Amino acid sequence: MSTTNPSFEDALRQAIDHHRARRFHEAEVLYRAILREHPANPDANHNLGLLAVEAGRHAQALPFFRAAAESHPSFPQFRVSLATALLDTGDRAGALQALDDAAAQGVKAEALDVLRQRLGQVGAVDRLMASLQAMVASGQLVEPGTIGNRAQRRAAARQKPAGRRRRS
């Protein structure tokens, strides 16, 4: 079966229709059938990756997004989907590499800017968390949940016992 075979095109169109109608099981069955005949088909791979992401299975989407990106390296959506899934699985370095690969393949910078911004924010949050953890470890900050207890102890220590007055 060639990729121009009407039954192939029909199967892909049906899979996409099921996917759009949120009939995910039916879409997955058809995408997998297409991939049995055409393992490198970028549309079926990408859409099967999207199904995995929609089900919250980001790591399972990665091989499908990689296959789509390798089959059609200059198509921005495949690279962006791969980078997003890598970021969602916590692989910041992999996401950056996917974006760099996309840029090297000629993907326009505008398509990558949002993800680069998101990666920058993740990096900033990571740096902030590391700084806060170091400050807690050094005693410069107290652990969350202990602030109220410490403040109460300080306030109690500053209070003067009742009945005693300072003489002037």
pTM over 0.85: no
Could you tell me the domains of the chain?
Answer: 6-158 (1.25.40.10)
pLDDT at 48 over 80: yes
Q: How confident is the model at residue 54 (pLDDT cuts 50, 70, 90)?
A: very high
Question: Residue 155 has what pLDDT?
Answer: 61
pLDDT at 151 over 60: no
Q: Which two tokens stand for residue 155?
A: 């306030």
pLDDT at 149 over 70: no
CA atoms within 13 A on the CB side of 153: 5
